[in-house]
Chain A
Amino acid sequence: MSGLIIDDISMRFELPDGNAVQALKNVSLDIKEGEIMAVLGPSGCGKTTLLNIVAGFLAPTEGNITLGGQVVRGPAAERGMVFQQGALFEWMNVRKNIGFGPRMKNTPKADIDKRVDELLGIVGLQDFGEKMIYELSGGMQQRVALARCLANEPEVILMDEPLGALDALTREKMQGLVLKLWKETGKTIILITHSVEEALLLGERLLVMAPRPGRIHKEYRLPFAEMGVNADLREVKTHPEFGPRREEILSMIWDMEEEIMGRTESAA
């Protein structure tokens, strides 16, 4: 029905000292409905900028984004976003947080309650609805963030390193949850991550971006996300293709990082 089309996006802005930054250059992507795409890249490659442009928080200097044929201008409920951490409203309890989006649309209270109950079940927080945000662990908070985003029925879910601040064990559980939600809801998901392993596990499509100017370096189509839906993620990691792919991407990113380092060193 509605795909997300990123059409030849470039972004360039000037710094106070007069230098110009080319944050993104000629980025084009065509994301089908229901696809999950992971975006990887060294720091400064413009992956967060790209996500912010898709979310509508930033305007590109060239090109545009269309979702279901509509050009994106500014943030809207059809493109939900899950942040790293600290984006929950700590003055509301869990239920109020999850019901925030529908409440903004003046959805009847009974409908909101039903939806929230449902989502609490999906993310496994049935008993925590009345808790305040600061009473929850980091992993639970991210479950609430996911549920809050889903409550709004967005067409696309944008995730900006949603699991980055979690410990390894919690992170693995949450990766499973993301895959489960992806399959059950059929949402289009774009996920930014620093972890190559996470990108491999969750990315049906995996985009590696390169810095200066921010651009698409290489794209992969991977089978692991589909496998992970029905299997233990640790099993997926033992897949014979998994290890070589990880090494390949890691060394690719390493090379880029080293190139940056070399450049700054020679400049210094």
Chain B
Amino acid sequence: MTILLIYIAIFVAAYLIVRLVARGVAHATDFTSLKTVTFGDESAVTADRTASVVSVVAIFLIWGAFTGSVISPIHAPGPFVGDTSFTYTAEAEDGSRDDATVSVRVFEVGTEAEEPSIEPGDGFAKDDSAKVGAWRSVLIRVDKNDEIGRGEGAKVVAINGEPIAPGETVKLADGEVTLSTKGTPNFKPNQGWQMEPIWLPSPEAVWGRIVEIANTGYQNSTLLQHLGWSLFRVVAGFAAGALVGIPLGYAMGLSSWFRGWFDPIVEFMRPVPPLALIPLVIIWAGIGEVGKVILLFLAALWIMTIAARSGVSGVKISKVHAAYSLGASKWQILTQVIVPNSLPDIFTGARVAMGVCWGTVVAAELVAAEKGAGMMIMVASKFQLTDIVIMGIILIGIIGYGIDILMRMAERWLIPWKGRG
């Protein structure tokens, strides 16, 4: 919630600052800058690249600030680390009371730490020591070394002078103490506002993992092999789906019999999410490559079929008529008119299909695989290696985005007439 508010604040502040700065700089002089009606004129709305940059920077800043990263100049308060102490008051059965001090050393998880050494002190309650990792908590059996312990009827009645009963909590400067139902103090050092690395590692930790795994690999495969296998499955499944789906779509667009025959199948299979087919594909084809490619084939098939079919139905009848009266044969109509005319639709379908395939392959690898981007993050999550999980998500996102950009470039290059017919 706080993070959301901070994010909104950055959004608004960046907008105001950029507006203020832009006022000082020379104005744009293109046609759009002269439009007075921009609210509602979609063509006048272009992505403000300054906003895009600030947006990405803001995400990394917030990420860094809440993980104690070096990339962020300001940090949210971190967890308490260091030595602290509190006193507890033990009350024996006869009503006599004695205070003792508990020294606690809070250390960063992953580093070595020793309990602070202390003298036992006087009275029937003796001083104690304990150590606890940051973000963790520790039950401190304070009566263990006391002359009158829990077994003899003694109980803790106050922490730092504040009375406490089992189940209650007393706040301290560096943490809080909760008395368990059995009367044992449970010390929890202040967590601060930062995220624990096993929940969200800092950006540099993720980057370090990328470098490390790129060099040494993970789970018997290098990073490139993992990503390469995922990509290979997508390309193979998509290619198979397109190879079958496009001719099928053409047939459905050109023949009533084909359309009638395949309409129920296509319309039924289309709304079935490919993810729902994973169990069946695993039963039939196992968890190997064949199963994955079959799954992706099925994911791409219906999308490509429908794209090709709508490509055919999008051909203007006057173009077909014109080609016929210019003496074209049916085959020539197909290759010279229908295929080029349907390319824009097929490309749109291909982009969707590639996206769906990429998502499906990761999901399939999450379920079962020996290699692959999804497998990498699934295994890492089982070992709580959150940095690898986040690394995997980032790489999956980058590759998915890259695929889409490549498809769009290919589209612009191959079908420059799109939308200008």
Contact = CB atoms under 8 A, between A and B. Distances in A.
Interface of A: 55-57, 74-77, 79-81, 83-84, 86-91, 100-101, 104-105, 132-134, 148-149, 152, 154, 158
A139 to B, nearest CB: 17
A89 B337 contact: yes
Contact of B325 (A77, A90, A134): A77
B134 to A, nearest CB: 64
A132 B329 contact: no
Interface string B329-356: 1001000110011010000000000000
13 contacts: A81-B321, A86-B319, A86-B421, A87-B319, A87-B322, A88-B322, A89-B319, A91-B340, A104-B332, A104-B336, A149-B326, A152-B327, A158-B325
A88 B341 CA distance: 11
Question: 3 shortest A-B CB distances, which residue pairs?
Answer: A77-B327, A134-B420, A101-B326
B316 A87 contact: yes
A177 to B, nearest CB: 19
Contacts of B316: 86-87
B327 A87 contact: no
A89 B316 CA distance: 10
Nearest to A96: B336
Interface residues of B, number: 23
Interface in B306-324: 316, 318-319, 321-324
Contacts of B341: 91
A117 to B, nearest CB: 19
Nearest to B324: A75
Contact of B318 (A80, A83, A152): A83
B373 to A, nearest CB: 37
Contacts, number: 76
B415 interface: yes
A220 B296 CA distance: 67
Contacts of B343: 91
Nearest to A84: B318
A104 B332 CA distance: 7
Contacts of B323: 89, 100, 104
A101 B322 CA distance: 10
A75 B417 contact: no
B417 A133 contact: yes
A55 B325 CA distance: 7
A148 B326 contact: yes
B416 A80 contact: no
B420 A90 contact: yes
B317 to A, nearest CB: 9
Contacts of A148: 322, 326
Given A91-B415, A134-B417, A104 B319 contact: no
Contacts of A83: 318, 321-322
Given A132-B417, A134-B421, A87 B321 contact: yes
B172 interface: no
Interface string B398-421: 000000000000000001110011
Contacts of A88: 319, 322
A57 B318 CA distance: 11
A256 to B, nearest CB: 27
B322 A77 contact: no
Contacts of A90: 417, 420-421
A190 to B, nearest CB: 13
Contacts of A149: 326
A168 B329 CA distance: 37
Given A86-B316, A89-B340, A80 B417 contact: no
Contacts of B319: 86-89
B325 A76 contact: yes
A88 B318 CA distance: 9
B81 interface: no
Nearest to B339: A91
